[in-house]
Amino acid sequence: MRLINTKTLELEEFMDSQMPNYAILSHTWSTNEVSFQEMQGLSSEERAALTSNSDTEVAAQTTPSTGYAKIKYTCQRARRAYMKYVWVDTCCIDKTSSAELSEAINSMMRWYENSEVCYAYLADVPLGVDLESKESAFAKCRWLTRGWTLQELLAPKRLFFLASDWSHLCSRERVSILIGNITGVPLSLLGPREPDSYSAACDYSLKAALNKFSIAKRMSWASRRMTSRKEDTAYCLLGVFGINMPLLYGEGEGAFLRLQEEIIKHSHDQSIFAWHADFSEESLNLSLHSPPRTEDFGAWEISSTLGFLASSPDYFADGGDIISCSISRSTPSFLITNKGLSMNVPLFGGSRGRGLFSLTARSTEI
């Protein structure tokens, strides 16, 4: 892992066994972020300006939200908290290396979880904003709508929101109810976390906390968020589901199908099939995993372009109240084969191989 030394602005690399304490930045990208190569190419004068506690600006640093300003003020915040190192995704990853980018994205959730503190910079939220209203700039900020920031909301032990001028706004706990109402994320994942909760001697872990919620419910959190690239709809959820898989930019919606296939390999939670779509929409196209057309399937008519897996988290928008359950002592297993989905379940009614089956998942409203 590559970290920025907050005193020298030099990039330093560490193995997991030698990892120092570090702060981490969460933000939404703009068009003028600082790359790894640009960070490496900073002159001594530019580094001195960026490490200064004054507001002296360097070339290309014109507003508090520009890339260089983000590095300057993140390091400044960390130094005030006696942190020697920070991690900023824009310049601590060499994105020209596909192998390094893949490793970083697969490790992202863990890196945020292992940080001492996370600073979430909200470029569109002024100081003094109303932190109670769902109509406020905070409630409508871009940070709460992006796919990548879901794991950055969930993972850190401590998270503080910063206003557009880099002033302290509040802690995650302070606005947990408002964030929960906006994002659908349960309060148990947004509330206070004692430092001891993350010690090796304690049974609590973020993974265990997330696994208390069904796959459908976790997908519903993502349904409220957007990414710039279709593939990132899946890649930004790897940590939320504890999945590792290679990145294949260019595969489009195939990335989300692969994510679901990987989840199925590691989980028996059938709520992954508890998604809803308007079957009349021509936009639904899951040419992979497509069952034969069934002309008479009760209230459900499954078209030849629709399979058991959703093409987007959007189809889990109504899954916030879905819980996983078992209707018998042994939950039936299921897997993806070269012929499609294989599952041993009891069928109800039907004939000639057709029928209905019940998922071991239900709505809390029932």
Q: For residue 241, give the nearest of 275, 218, 212 by alpha carbon.
A: 218
Q: CA dihedral in degrees (147, 148, 150, 151; nearest 10)? A: 150
Query: Does the pLDDT at position 93 exceed 60?
Result: yes
Residue 358 clears pLDDT 70, i.e. is over it: no
pLDDT at 63 over 90: no
The upper half-sphere exposure of residue 285, i.e. CA atoms within 13 Å in the direction of its Cβ, equals 5
Strands (E), the chain: 2-5, 11-13, 23-26, 85-87, 117-121, 159-162, 168-171, 322-324, 334-337, 340-343, 361-363
Strand partners, 26: 120
Which of 36-50, 55-69, 187-201 shows the lowest mean pLDDT across its residues? 55-69
pLDDT score of 291 more than 50: no
- Check whether 200 has a pLDDT greater than 50: no
Q: pLDDT confidence of 285, banded at 50, 70, 90?
A: very low
Q: What is the pLDDT of residue 49?
A: 84
Region of poorest pLDDT, from 138-142, 180-184, 262-266, 291-295? 291-295
* Sign of the torsion formed by the C-alpha atoms of 209, 143, 88 and 192: negative
Neighbours of 58 (CB within 10 A): 18
Query: The pTM is what?
Result: 0.84
Average pLDDT estimate for 44-70: 70
